[in-house]
Structure 1
Amino acid sequence: EVDVMREQKYHVYLTADEQGRVIQSLIRLKNNLITEGRYTDAVDDVLCKVLSAKKKRQFII
């Protein structure tokens, strides 16, 4: 049998404010990598996932 490593998935629940901060941080990191002439592929992937994440509606009573 061959052990196939599967990509682990993680679920992170963020408030709208936290999500905004994560996006800003990722954009800052991407800009720093660009100025250093380094690849931004991994940051782009995470940024796309954060931007396209489902929004969970919460009702506060």
Structure 2
Amino acid sequence: MREEKFHIYLNDDEYGRVIQSLIRLKNSLIAQGRYTDGVDNVLCKVMSAKKRKLKIKYF
């Protein structure tokens, strides 16, 4: 079965908030003594994602 792909478009402010939230989640998991593998994978994917400029037309 083929894995479903999702695309998310973020501006600079939203991108920063996503990174900060993932880092906070990772820190809380470390404090609880739990594994952070899933958060690490998502963090790497978000940080290595291509950045693309889009033109948004408002009517």
TM-score range (shorter-chain normalised) is: 0.7 to 0.9
Q: What does the per-residue CA deviation read over 1:17-36, in whole Å, with 9 as the maximum and x for residues that have no partner?
A: 10000000000000000000
| CA distance, structure 2, for counterparts of residue 11 and residue 58 of structure 1 | 13
TM-score by length of 2: 0.84
Partner of 2:31: 35
Q: Structure 1: where are the runs of 5+ without partners?
A: none
Q: Which secondary structure state, in structure 2, belongs to the residue aligned with residue 43 of structure 1?
A: helix
| 4+ long deviations beyond 3 Å | none
Alignment of 1:37-56 (within 5 A): 37-56=33-52
Q: CA RMSD in A?
A: 1.6
2:5 is the counterpart of 1:9? yes
Q: Structure 2: where are the runs of 5+ without partners?
A: none
TM-score by length of 1: 0.82
Aligned residues: 56
| CA distance, structure 1, for counterparts of residue 2 and residue 35 of structure 2 | 24
